[in-house]
Amino acid sequence: MTQLSNMSTIKLLLERHGFRFSKSLGQNFLVNPSVCPQMAEESGVTGEMSVLEIGPGIGVLTCELASRARKVVSIELDKRLLPVLKETLAAYDNVKVVQGDALKVDLRTLLKEEFSGEPVSVCANLPYYITSPLVMRLLEERLPLESITVMVQKEAAERICAEPGTRASGAISLAVNYYAEPKILFSVSRDSFMPSPKVDSAVIRLDVRKTPPVALESEKRFFQLIAAAFGQRRKTVCNAVSAGLSLPKERVFAALERAGLDLMVRAEKLTLSQFAALDQALAEE
């Protein structure tokens, strides 16, 4: 189906199916015709690859992916969109729509059943409210993914892709950098959507690492340390970690010294390797 980015076409399509937007589901459909082709192209998907899409909406991005990939499986939460997608995707025999919640679906089983070990990438225009939990789920479960290309709120994109050790970095920046190599591909203005959201968006790509950039004894312990350090980011790492992990300040102070770190350093100034050194120093107590 053509002209899925045309506002008049979208209105007629939705009226025909009696569909109304749901604010609770963060539904904003693209009306900028250049965004989805660019997003699909920069995702790096080829005819030898398959794609997992989350939140296809009315299928604008889905059509672009289906024209490039061997197979596309799209997870859609809103049952009301299923008949819409049946119409808009009718021309593609390499697309399957699965109704479900991407935060709850057994993704590992889905990938195994649908793609049988083939190279798979994620490409999706994510509802803002599930950005962080979904991105982290895709990474933490170590699913067999090549890359994750998603459109998210611009502020979230900058935070996710921030270089560890810089002022813009946060706990999610370090977590994402541990599992993947992130980069911002391009920005998307709020006027590109219907209805228009209150913020601009950006498309990011996370190339999943084969091996982490730092060696750890315990990932759980490492990320608990990072969460504590950023839990009170205006405080020094010593004070924040002491409070967050219920450790004596003297112990954290001594660990910072053994790790060769500034005793007054704040969390955003530390890189992955420096957090790993602090984690090891704390464990040696």
Q: Total domain count for the chain? A: 2
Q: Do 30 and 129 reside in the same domain of the chain?
A: yes
229: CATH = 1.10.8.100
Last residue of a domain, one of 167, 185, 208: 208
Quick one: which of 223, 213, 255 has its CA closest to 238?
255
Domain extent for 178 = 7-208
Last residue of a domain, one of 166, 183, 208: 208
Partner residues linked to 71 by β-bridges = 50
pLDDT digits (tens, 9 = 90+) for 163-179: 999 999 999 999 999 99
Q: Do 90 and 120 reside in the same domain of the chain?
A: yes
Q: Do 133 and 241 reside in the same domain of the chain?
A: no
Please state, rounded to an integer, the average pLDDT across all residues of the chain: 92
19: CATH = 3.40.50.150
With 0.85 as the threshold, say if the pTM is over it: yes
Contacts of 142 (CB under 8 A, 6+ apart): 179
Asked whether the predicted pLDDT for residue 260 surpasses 90, the reply is yes
Q: Do 189 and 233 reside in the same domain of the chain?
A: no
**Residue 1 covered by a domain:** no
Q: Do 152 and 58 reside in the same domain of the chain?
A: yes
| Cα 145–Cα 28–Cα 158 angle in degrees, nearest 5 | 55
Q: Do 181 and 263 reside in the same domain of the chain?
A: no
Per-residue confidence at 61, pLDDT binned at 50, 70, 90? very high
Q: Do 130 and 270 reside in the same domain of the chain?
A: no
